[in-house]
Chain A
C-alpha cells in the first residue's frame, strides 16, 4: 500500500540522530512488546509478510509521529484481534483496570 512506511525519497525529516552507546531497548515496554510479538508469531497463525502489512496499516500521521515499537504494538494488537487470540473489548477492559490500579496515565 502507498502508506507512510514507504519512505524512500521523502524529504523533510531532518538530520539522522544518533545516540552514543545506544541501548538495545530504551524502555521496559519495548522489551515486552518485542518479546510478545516474537512469541505470538511462533504459533504460525500469521506469517511475517502479514505482520509487516499489519504495521503498515497505521494511519500515516500516526506512523510518522510514533516510535518504532509503537508500530510493532499497533500491528501486534491488530493481529491478535484479527486471529481471535484476544478481543478489543478484553484489551480495553484490561487497560482501564490497569490504569485504575497503577495511577493516572499520561497521554
Chain B
C-alpha cells in the first residue's frame, strides 16, 4: 500500500502517457517546452473565431467570397490561417436550396486552421455513423429541421481536403460591420449542423452568458 498518496489515483491511461513522456524526455526526443506550446496553441490560440472572420468577410465582400469559392486555401491564407490540417481547404456554400454538412466517418478530419480542434461529438461514433445515412435526422437532433426541397450534401472528409461550410447570412444584418457579423457565426454553422445566429439569437445568447 502506498503511504504517500498524493490524493489522486492515476488511471492506467494516465500512467502510460506519463511513462511515454518521461521516457521521451529522458532520451531527449521531445522538448517539454515545445509540448507546452503545442498545447497552448490549440487550447487558446486557434479556434472557430478564425473561421467566423472568414465567413464575415465573405458576407460583406463579394470579391472575397468568389476568391474563397475558387481557392479557399489562398483566400483563408489572406488572414494568416495556414498550416496543419488546413493545407487543402474547400469551402462549400449554403444556399436557399442546398445545405452542406461535414463529417469524417473514418476518423476525425477537421479544418484545424479555421475551427481549431474538433468537439468530442464530431469525433464520436454516433455522429460519424449517422450523419451519412440519416442527415435529416441528425440535423433535427441539432435543432435544424430543413424542408425536403432543400438538398442536403454530406461531405465525408476522406482525403486531406478540409471542408468549411459557408453559412447563409442571416436576415436583418444590413450595414453590420465584419466584426459584428462574425459574432453570428457559430462553429456548428461552419460544420453544417446549424445555421448562423440571427440578431435576436445573438442578443439572447449574450444576455445569458
Q: Could you list which residues of chain A lie within 8 angstroms of chain B, going by C-beta atoms? A: 5-11, 13-19, 22, 24-29, 31-36, 38-40, 48, 52, 55, 64, 68, 70, 73, 76-77, 80, 85-86, 90-91, 94-95, 98-100, 102-107
- CA–CA, A17 and B141, complex, Å: 10
Contact across chains for B12 and A107 when beta carbons are under 8 A apart: yes
Asked if B29 is at the interface (CB within 8 A of a chain A CB), the reply is yes
Contact across chains for B129 and A34 when beta carbons are under 8 A apart: no
Contact across chains for B2 and A98 when beta carbons are under 8 A apart: no
Interface size class of B (residues with CB under 8 A): 35 or more
Contact across chains for A105 and B27 when beta carbons are under 8 A apart: no
Known: A35-B38, A100-B2. A8 touches B15 (CB 8 A): no
A-B contact pairs, 15 of them (CB 8 A): A13-B130, A17-B126, A24-B116, A31-B39, A68-B124, A80-B24, A86-B24, A94-B23, A95-B12, A98-B15, A98-B18, A99-B10, A102-B10, A106-B10, A106-B12
Residues of chain A with a CB closer than 8 A to B9's CB: 102-106
- CA–CA, A15 and B137, complex, Å: 11
Identity of the chain B residue whose Cβ is nearest the Cβ of A8 in the assembled complex: B105
